[in-house]
Amino acid sequence: MKFETMTVPENIQSDYLIATFYMKSDAEPDLYDWVKLVAADQSAGTWTHVEGETPEVIALYGAKVLGIYPMAGERACVTRIAFPTSNFPAYVPMIMSTVAGNVLGQDGIRLVDIEIPDSFLSQLPGPQLGVEGIRDLLNIRERPLVGAILKPCIGVPPEVSASGARKAAAGGADVIKDDELLSDPGYSPMTQRVKSVMAELKAIGKDKSVLYAVNITGENLVERAKWAIEAGANSIMVNYQAMGWGASEDLTRFLAREKINIPIFGHCAGMGAYYRSKTNGISTALSMGKMARLIGMDMPLVYPDSGRFGIDTNELVETHAMLTSPMGPIKRAFTTVAGGVHPGTIEYLMKLLGNDTILMAGGGIYGHPMGATAGAKAILQAIDAVMAGSTVAEAAKVHEELRAALEFWKK
Distance between CA atoms of 297 and 49, rounded to whole angstroms?
42
How many other C-beta atoms lie within 10 A of the C-beta of residue 148? 30
Kindly list the distances between the CA atom of residue 405 and the CA atoms of 43, 168, 361, in Å, as whole numbers in the listed order.
Answer: 55, 15, 13
Mapping DSSP to helix (H, G, I), strand (E, B) and coil, where does residue 334 land?
Answer: coil
Which residues, 6 or more positions from 406, have their beta carbon under 8 angstroms from its beta carbon? 343, 344, 392, 393, 396
Taking a C-beta distance cutoff of 8 angstroms, is the pair 199, 158 a contact? Answer: no
Whole-number Å distance between alpha carbons of 326 and 324:
7
Could you give the CA distance from residue 401 to residue 234 in angstroms, rounded to a whole number? 29
108 Ramachandran zone, left/alpha/beta (phi>0; psi -120 to 50): left
Amino acid making up residue 222: V
Question: How far does Cα 200 stand from its chain's mean position?
Answer: 29
* 3-class DSSP assignment, residue 43: coil
Catalytic: which of 24, 64, 151, 206?
Answer: 151
> How far apart are alpha carbons 269 and 348 in whole angstroms?
25
Catalytic residue from among 267, 342, 377, 399: 267
> 289: which DSSP letter?
I
Residue 331 designated active-site: no
Cβ contact 379:361 at 8 Å: yes
320 part of the active site: no
Helix/strand/coil percent split, the chain, to 5 = 45, 20, 40
Residue 205 neighbours by CB under 8 Å, 6+ apart: none
CA distances from 385 to 57, 342, 356, 393, 403 (A): 62, 15, 16, 9, 13
Give the residue numbers marked as catalytic.
151, 267
